[in-house]
């Protein structure tokens, strides 16, 4: 298992998509921070001419890099990037011949998927770590301070990384089911961006038609237990109930998808 994990880590650092996704995510964060600090605002008039106005009362130092990072991590963008990485990594790994016709006993094939889930966890922590380092450098440069206790902020980052791991593992399962990277990436977009809203609309419809009471839906509504909905709901200052449900959803989801992925690998003659 250890040697297999080392091989997967080796593949990770030789996968171009891992660096591209990390750089894109970092660039989006830095660009967003730069835009928020800018005191200029643009407008387009009826003739399509861009006019720039300057707000003299705007204080660029009010933009906190730590707060912006927390907002970005809860926005759904980072979890989308992790999902795309998981699909591309799995696809490139197979194309490279690393897993093709891998001669392993069926009982040990499940370990292959487990180590791949560990790689997703490692990459999630790496991505969160790089973004946190960027936020720290910006905070030092512009004199910003962390508005919460360091321990609370660290817990928030770790829980988001855990949710990213669960989501990335789920996307790997989808890839193994369809065996097509394009389909898996499309489903990643749908799952991370649209499915939660669709589920909420469906739940609202059930309440509107009096099929399920609003109080009951608040307890059993599936949308609130989705991985991306937990990521959106989680914040540094969330109460204990939100933090507790985040632990439950992330760990149970991760366990379920690891079991499903392991069974898929175990049952197939050719991986």
Distance CA 92, CA 12 (A): 10
Tell me phi and psi for residue 270, to 5 degrees: -120, 125
Q: What is the mean pLDDT of the chain?
A: 78
Residue 44: pLDDT band (50, 70, 90) is: very low
Note the pLDDT tens digit of each residue in 73-115. Answer: 988 889 989 988 988 888 876 666 555 545 455 556 667 888 8
Distance CA 84, CA 185 (A): 6
Predicted TM-score (pTM) of the model is 0.81
Residue 176: pLDDT band (50, 70, 90) is: confident
Residue 231: pLDDT band (50, 70, 90) is: confident
**Residue 101, pLDDT score:** 47
pLDDT score of 22 more than 90: yes
- What is residue 40's three-state secondary structure? strand
pLDDT score of 42 more than 50: no
Residue 189: pLDDT band (50, 70, 90) is: low
The tokens describing 192, both together, are 């991370």
Distances (CA, A) of 107 to 104, 114, 119, 237: 8, 13, 21, 44
pLDDT score of 147 more than 90: no
223: left (phi over 0), alpha (psi -120 to 50) or beta: alpha
């Amino acid at each position: 298992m250890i040697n297999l994990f080392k091989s997967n880590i080796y593949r990770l650092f030789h996968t171009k998509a891992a660096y591209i996704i990390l750089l894109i995510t970092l660039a989006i964060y830095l660009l967003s921070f730069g835009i928020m600090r800018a005191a200029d605002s643009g407008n387009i008039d009826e003739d399509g001419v861009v006019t720039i106005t300057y707000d003299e009362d705007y204080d660029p130092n009010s933009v906190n890099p730590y707060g912006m990072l927390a907002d970005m991590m809860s926005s759904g963008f980072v979890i989308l990037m992790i999902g795309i990485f998981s699909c591309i990594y799995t696809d490139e790994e197979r194309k490279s011949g690393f897993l093709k016709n891998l001669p392993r006993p069926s009982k040990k094939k499940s370990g292959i998927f487990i180590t791949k889930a560990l790689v997703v966890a490692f990459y999630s922590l790496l991505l969160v770590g790089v973004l946190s380092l960027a936020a720290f450098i910006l905070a030092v440069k512009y004199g910003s301070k962390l508005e919460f206790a360091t321990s609370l902020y660290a817990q928030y980052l770790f829980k988001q990384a855990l949710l990213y791991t669960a989501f990335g593992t789920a996307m790997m399962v989808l890839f193994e089911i369809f065996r097509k990277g394009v389909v898996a990436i499309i489903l990643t977009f749908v799952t991370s961006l649209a499915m939660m809203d669709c589920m909420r609309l469906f739940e609202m419809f059930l309440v509107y038609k009096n099929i399920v009471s609003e109080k009951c839906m608040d307890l059993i509504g599936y949308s609130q237990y989705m991985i991306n909905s937990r990521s959106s709901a989680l914040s540094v200052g969330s109460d204990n109930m939100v933090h507790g449900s985040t632990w439950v959803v992330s760990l149970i989801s991760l366990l379920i998808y690891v079991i499903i992925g392991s069974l898929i690998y175990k049952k197939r003659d050719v991986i």
